[in-house]
Chain A
Amino acid sequence: MLNEIAAEHHAVPGGTLKMTARNVNVFYGQKQAIKDVSIDVTQENVTAFIGPSGCGKSTFLRTLNRMNDTVASARVEGEITLDGEDIYSSGMDVVQLRARVGMVFQKPNPFPKSIYENVAYGPRIHGLAANKGEMDQIVEKSLRRAGLWEEVKDRLTDSGTALSGGQQQRLCIARAIAVEPEVILMDEPCSALDPIATAKIEELIHELRGRYAIVIVTHNMQQAARVSQKTAFFHLGTLVEYGETDTIFTNPREPRTKDYITGRYG
C-alpha cells in the first residue's frame, strides 16, 4: 500500500526513465534540506521543479550531478541513478558524471576567454576532438544548437564576457552541450535575463527537448508552465506533488500546490 502511494507520487507515466531518485535525504550539517524525495526524470520531457525559496528544489537539482559534493557540510542519503547506475557509488567518476549531466546556472558564468575557448574547453579536457578541424565542428555545432552561432560566428575570438546577458547564457548552454551530455540541469537560467532573452532561452529549451533530458528549476511559474511537460512542486524539503504540467497548473491535486500556483502561499 505504502509502495503504491510512493509509486504514484514519483512516477508520471509517459517517457523513458533517464534518472531516478529514491528516498533521497540531504543534510547541510544538522539541517535537513531534502526529506525523502523520490522522483523519476524521463528522457523525452522537460521536468520543472517549482516551489518557494528555500523549499529545496535547487538543492535537489544539485544532487543529480553531485554538485553538493563541493559543499563540505552537505550529506546525501538515498539512491540516485543515471541509466540505472548509482551515481553516488564509489566507482562513479564525478568528472565524467558532470559531463553526462551538465549544468547551467542562474547567472551566466562564461570563462574570461574567447567565445571559441568557452565552448572548446570541455571537449578539450574530455579529449573529444582529435584535431583543430574536429574541434571547430564541435564548437560550431554546439553554438548552433544553442541558437547563438549566427550572432557570434564572425567574432569567435571576442571575449565571452563581452556578450549580452542572454547571449552569455546561451554560450553557457553551448558550453554544456559541447561535451555531449545526456541530461542538462538548469538552475533558474533566465532569472537574470530580460523577457526577449528569456523567450530565446525558452525556445532553445523547446529545441533541445528530446535530445537531452532537461530539468529546470524556476521561480517563474509561467515559465515552468510554458517549457515543461512534467512539473514537481517542492515545499519545505518535501516533494508535494509531481505530475503532468497541464494538470499541475489547471487542476492540481494537493491544496498546497494549488495555494502556491494561484498565488495564495504564505
Chain B
Amino acid sequence: MIRRLGPAAALLAVTVACFTAAPALSQGNLNLGVTMLTYLAIAQAWNMLAGYSGQVSLGASAFVATGGYATGLMLAHTGLSWPLAFAGAAIAATALAVLLSVPLLRLRGDYFAIGTLAISIALQSLISNWPWAGGASGLVLPVGGLPSGGKLFQVAVIVAAAATAVTLYTRQSGFGLRLAAIRDNEAAAAGLGVSVYRHRLAALLVSSAITGLAGAVVAFQFVVVSPDGIASVNWSLNAVLMTIVGGAGTVIGPVIGVLIVYYGLTWELQNQQTFSQILEGLLLIAVVRFAPRGVWPLLCASVRRVSDFRRTGAQEPAGEAPVTEDELSKDLV
C-alpha cells in the first residue's frame, strides 16, 4: 500500500510546495520554471505514449500547436476568459487526436513515428497558409487577459503535475500493465483479451490532451503563437530527447531528462547554441549506445549495487528501478 501511495503522496507534496512557493520566486526564476514545467509535461505525455504504450511519436509539436492555437484563436477572436481558452486547448488537441487516430492507429513502429512527423509538418505548413490564424507571422494574444508571473507558474505546475500523475497511474495500474503488454507483444496481449485498439487509442488521447494543455501554457508564456514557434518540430524532438536521456518508461526519467537537456544544455549554454546542440546530439547517441534505458534507471542500478541494504522508505524513488527493469522491454530504447 505504501509502495503504491508513497510516490503519489510525494508528487502531491512537491506540487503543493511548488504551487505555494510561486509568489516568493523572482520573475526570471518563474519564467525558467514555466519553461521547464512545460517541457516536463510534454515529455511525460510522450513518455506515456512511447515509453509505456510503445507508440514512438515524432509529432508532439502538432498537439502543442493545436493547444496553443486553440487558446490563441479563442482569446484573440472571441474574448473568452483564459481558463475557458485553456480548457479549449485540451478539447482541441483531443479532437485532433480522435480525427488522426483513424489513420494513425493503423500504423505501427517506425511507420507510426514517420506518420506523426508528417502530420506535424503538414499542420505547420497548413497554419502558415491560414490567414485567420495570422498566417506565417502568427497571432498575437491580448496581453491583458493572460495569466502571467506567479499565476502562470501555478498553471504550469498543475499541467506538469497532471502529466506526471497520469504517468504514475499508468505505471501502477492494470491499464498500464495492459499497455506494456501490447508494447511488448501485441499478438500475445490480444490473445489474452486485451483490446489493442482501445488501449492504444486511450494512450493517444490522454497524451494528446496533456500536450495540448502544455501548448496553452506555451501560448500564455510567449503571448504569440506562430508556425515557427509553437508549431516548430523542436517540441517533438525535445520530448524524445529529454525522455530518452532521462529514461523512457519511468516516472522520474523525464524529470531528470528536462534537468539535463533543458537546464544543463540549453539554459546554461544559451549563449553557445551550436555547442549546446552538438552536446545534445552526442548525448543522445551516447545514451542510446551505452545506457539504452536512460540516465535514471542507470543511476538507480548503480545506487542499488553500491548499497543494496540501505534502500529504505526514505529513498522510495530508488524502488522504481526493480519494477522498471522487469517491465521495460528490451525492444524499447
Q: Are A and B subunits of one complex?
A: no
Residues on A facing B (Cβ under 8 Å): none
